[in-house]
Amino acid sequence: MATEVTMPKLGEVMEEGVVLSWKKKEGDAVSKGEIILEIETEKAVAEVESPASGTMGRIIVQEGSTVPVNTLLATIE
């Protein structure tokens, strides 16, 4: 079963974020807690950790895209 990677809510007023860069590609092995992407909010750039160990599945949101909080970004298989 796949684990979803969603745009996190990093602040009380955060409504959206920008996917700056993916640190892993589809098919790469990932470990829980490993940095898999960087996002930008109105106030900061943040690193996002993998919520599970496995293989990087489909990357749904590409670099440079702005999406609302809780949007599905990718899956970990």
Quick: pLDDT tens for 6-63.
Answer: 999 988 889 999 999 999 999 999 999 999 999 999 889 999 999 999 999 999 999 9
Res 8: pLDDT: 95
Distance CA 51, CA 5 (A): 7
Res 71: pLDDT: 98
CATH number corresponding to 3-76 = 2.40.50.100
Contact between 35 and 49 under an 8 Å Cβ cutoff? The reply is: yes
Across-strand partners of 19? 39
Residue 68 has pLDDT above 90, yes or no: yes
The domain segmentation of the chain, as residue ranges, is: 3-76
